[in-house]
Amino acid sequence: MLLLTQIDDRSGEVLGHALEELTALGVHNVQLLTSHTKKGRPGMVLLVDLEPELERAVAVYLAAELGAWGYHVVAAEHRHFDVEARERAVTVVCGARRATFTMTVKFFSLEGKLLRVKVERADVEAVQAFIREGEDVCASETVRALLEHELRTRPEATAVEVRLS
């Protein structure tokens, strides 16, 4: 289910912490959108994607911590893709240097068809650090694209090699 509530009197620090606490409650996703309220005042719209059994706990949090006067239950049907996290050994070759990284890679599918492969930001940063050790430069977008391309071309392989030279 999707809950929507409006917030107009909480600081950014409080709202940032609220996103973490709502996630810790077990919601699927939480988003905070800036808005303008009556008379042009700044406000926020909080969207919380959750299972119905969490509604009461989230409602209590919205009222007690964020001062919400209520919330809307938005009629929605969420369609999830098949997402599988698989551990992969990725050997990165940069000139004469090579290093192997263990990465948890997400494979997105729909009806058995692979749609996307996604590596985590922390893994991209680890590869970039290795590249920089050799005094080379490669943008994070390029590193991500190369990693995801190689992993997508061989989705069943438990180990792949990526050449950056």
**Confidence check: pLDDT of 124 > 80:** yes
Q: Which residue has the higher pLDDT, 136 or 10?
A: 10
> Do 97 and 133 lie in a common domain?
yes
> Do 69 and 98 lie in a common domain?
no
- The model's pLDDT over 13-71, given as tens digits with 9 standing for 90+, comes to 999 999 999 999 999 999 999 999 888 888 899 999 999 999 999 999 999 999 999 99
| Residue 6 domain boundaries | 2-74
> Do 13 and 39 lie in a common domain?
yes
> Do 24 and 88 lie in a common domain?
no
> Do 86 and 121 lie in a common domain?
yes
Top mean-pLDDT range of 103-107, 136-140, 157-161: 103-107
In this prediction, residue 89 carries a pLDDT of 95
> Do 22 and 91 lie in a common domain?
no
Report d(CA 127, CA 146) in Å as an integer: 11
What are the backbone dihedrals phi and psi of residue 110, each rounded to the nearest 5 degrees, phi first?
A: -140, 120
Domain end among 74, 108, 130: 74
Q: How far apart are the first and last CA of the chain?
A: 48
Residue found under tokens 């240097």: 97
> Do 92 and 67 lie in a common domain?
no
Q: Where are the beta strands (DSSP E) in 11-81?
A: 29-36, 42-49, 72-74
**Confidence check: pLDDT of 165 > 70:** no
> Do 93 and 134 lie in a common domain?
yes
In this prediction, residue 84 carries a pLDDT of 94
For residues 88 and 151, the answer to whether their CB atoms sit within 8 Å is yes
What the block records as the tokens of 57 is 């706990």
Least confident window among 10-14, 97-101, 126-130:
10-14
- Domain containing residue 146: CATH number: 3.10.20.300
* Closest residue by Cα to residue 1 from 56, 48, 60: 48
How many domains does one find in the chain? 2
